[in-house]
Structure 1
């Protein structure tokens, strides 16, 4: 599960063709993403949410915070968003659900710390 979490975070950090390749390789075509600010489905919907985060926080990167906890095709982990090498300004908690082939099927996101 550590590898899939790394690919998930790489998707959030990527742009353009690189992001499209990560989505195709590691996400189900029917994947859903839900957090307090968004509810989307499919690669295009997910890419649009990622683009929105990149626009709101230009130059920031997603990093893993702590260990991955996993069972039964599910993984939960904390992530941070901030300037590279700095303390994250945003911290969240996501649960990934994988499909039978090991691709990301559903994401349930929670925001623990957000800037005012």
Structure 2
């Protein structure tokens, strides 16, 4: 089951380190099967508030996502971003192939104590 690294990058201070980080990140992703699905792109907020840029990386699974984030190679370049960009990053499991949300709804209805 795929897993994702999702980042919301809120405050960005322009600096040459950011270009270095972007240039160096792909080789840290490759050993873990990681790839960009979203990298900044135009956003349209349709509910709530969402400020900043969005980045979405896909990995084959949570093991690979965590392995990438904790890898020595990524940790080495991470300060190039974190010194100049404030944001939030999460790792999250995706859903299995052929996921049907109706199954989740049915399981919720079967739980005791449901209002």
- Both proteins in one fold, TM over 0.5: no
TM-score, with structure 2 as normaliser: 0.29
Q: Higher relative contact order at CA 8 Å, sep ≥6: structure 1 or structure 2?
A: 2
Q: Which has the larger radius of gyration?
A: 2
TM-score, with structure 1 as normaliser: 0.29
* Structure with the higher fraction of residues in helix conformation: 2
